[in-house]
Amino acid sequence: MQSPTPSLFPPRLLPQLQYLVGKGNVITDPARLLVYESDGLTTYRWRPAAVVLPETTAELTAVVAAVHKAELPIVARGAGTGLSGGALAGDGVVVVATTRMNSILELDPVNRIARVQPGVVNADLGAAAARHGLLYAPDPSSQSACTIGGNVAENSGGPHCLKYGVTSRYVSGLTVVLERGGVVQLGGAGRDPEGALDLVGLFVGSEGCFGIAAEIEVRLRPIPLGYRTLLAVFDSVEAAAGAATDIIARGLLPAALEIMDGGSIRAVEESTYAAGIPIDAGAALVIEFDGTDAGLDGDADAAREACEAAGAREIRSAHTAEERVRLWQGRKKAFGAMGRIAPDILVQDATVPRTRLPGVLAEIMQVAAKYDLHIGNVFHAGDGNLHPKLLFDRRNADEVARVEKASSEIMALCVAAGGTITGEHGVGVDKRRYMSLVHGPDELAAMEAVREVFDPESLMNPGKVLPTDAEIAEMDLLRATGAFV
């Protein structure tokens, strides 16, 4: 049964939307809206006015035009796995969920290009590409659920982005639905958009503030001919970080270089995903090389040397595809395993210069101790992209308060170490207030002005990315107190 729509919802809009996409594809029932109240950022619960599920570009366009005419804001949502709150939509806001826009429209193996709807799941595109010996490189940890549309919005990365780069490197064309329901084609048809004013690159990472991608053209790569995967066990995260730094300093370019700290190892080993990593280890480093087979042994040998020099107590290597999966298991399941320990996890996404990793990690653990929190660190060591995972229970108000304070302090110390506030999860609502730490007032004003070009009435994902005046003032105050160097 449909519940009455909230007071803010214009009475004529509902039947209009139902007409456009079919009655079953407009959700206003509070019980069904529940699943749309948060994304991967579980500290926030915002209830949208309605959720609409179009299937085609034409339907999406008509929906956006109708919502615009009703003067309501609109938020696009893929799988809702985002970690910065980009898909959150509050009172009186309409969510366009791309769940039904999940077709791979074209896959051209010769020119290595795919054209997809935004709701296509990352791993599904990967599977389709694999049938032609190709892969879609960006591999967020949520790739079995997250969508290409969400990846574009957040400019997502993943473990293998150390070698292959993030989403923006792979998007060559976009069909974008703008605020009023107009459609603009940016780049595309396999053409390299880098030659002129690059609006494709600008749209990638714009977090739904410019418009909604209705079709996305991406570049595919050949699946590497071979892999060498190592897992090195260390007594401390400092030693593992030292090995990672040494590997990069030797001029090696691993496809992935990932660290799990002791807390994360124990979480995994005590779960059903146990990967056989010693439970008393201080850290594990997963190193993967890929490419043509001949060079891989040399690369792996050099990485092994670096690990031994850094005091690795054990180094495993994979010789088969099954062994490779096993070495990755701990890293890939760490997030899920932590979910067993606490019902909620806040994942930070700061980056720091690689050489600052050991010091910053030590500081993060001091913050954990100060606020009596469990913090697990599983992160992309190769590009200095930290993902401290703060475990908590959102029903415990005191713990939530401590998590928020700890989160702020972690952000501050990363920025103070020369880092930035987001590596691959976007700004959303969670990192918004930190924007003025890394972007000056003129740059923020330019961002705002560019946003207005595409979304003059600020109806597309309002309140995301750009900080409020109060948030800027808060950071100015923090800076004045010497919290940030």
Pick the binder of its own copies from 7, 11, 31, 111 (CB under 8 A): 111
**DSSP codes joined into one string, 309-365:** HTT-SEEEE--SHHHHHHHHHHHHHHHHHHHHH-SEEEEP--B--GGGHHHHHHHHH
Residues 64-103 that bind its own copies (CB under 8 A): none
Which of these ranges, 250-258, 371-379, 391-399, 403-411, lies near its own copies under the rule CB under 8 A? 250-258
Does the footprint of its own copies cover residue 165 (CB under 8 A)? yes
Total of chain residues touching its own copies, rule CB under 8 A: 76
- Please answer whether residues 107 and 451 qualify as being in contact, where contact means their C-beta atoms are separated by less than 8 angstroms: no
| 232, 240 contact by CB (below 8 A) | yes
The pair of three-digit structure tokens given for residue 200, joined into one six-digit string: 């494709």
Q: Rule CB under 8 A: is residue 480 a binding residue for its own copies?
A: no
d(CA 419, CA 415): 4
Closest distance between its own copies and the C-beta of residue 332, in Å? 23
Task: Supply the angle between the helices 397-416 and 357-370 in degrees, to the nearest 10.
Answer: 160
Using the rule CB under 8 A, give the single segment among 141-149, 258-266, 304-312, 421-429 that binds its own copies.
Answer: 421-429
Residues in a beta bridge with 345: 391
Q: How far apart are CA 296 and CA 99, in angstroms?
A: 40
Residues 30 to 69 in contact with its own copies, rule: CB under 8 A: none
Question: DSSP secondary-structure letter at 96?
Answer: E
How far, in Å, CA of 153 to CA of 171, rounded? 11
Interface with its own copies, residue 166, by CB under 8 A: yes
Is residue 462 at the binding interface for its own copies, with CB under 8 A as the rule? no
Shortest reach from residue 150's CB to its own copies, in Å: 15
Q: Does residue 155 touch its own copies according to CB under 8 A?
A: yes
Candidates 223-231, 235-243, 277-285, 361-369 — which segment interacts with its own copies by CB under 8 A? 223-231
Site for its own copies in 351-390 (CB under 8 A): 351, 353-355, 383
Q: What is each CA distance from 439 to 167, 227, 433, 469, 478, in whole angstroms?
A: 22, 39, 11, 14, 15
Q: Which listed range, 58-66, 72-80, 234-242, 449-457, lies at the site for its own copies (CB under 8 A)? A: 449-457
Closest distance between its own copies and the C-beta of residue 10, in Å? Answer: 28
Q: Which of 439, 458, 462, 479 binds its own copies (CB under 8 A)?
A: 439
> Does 295 contact its own copies by CB under 8 A?
yes
Q: Which is nearer to its own copies, 4 or 251 (CB)?
A: 251
Is residue 195 a contact point for its own copies (CB under 8 A)?
yes
Residue 252, phi-psi category: left (phi > 0), alpha (psi -120 to 50), beta (remainder): beta
**Could you tell me the smallest distance in angstroms from the CB atom of residue 121 to its own copies?**
23
306 near its own copies (CB under 8 A): no
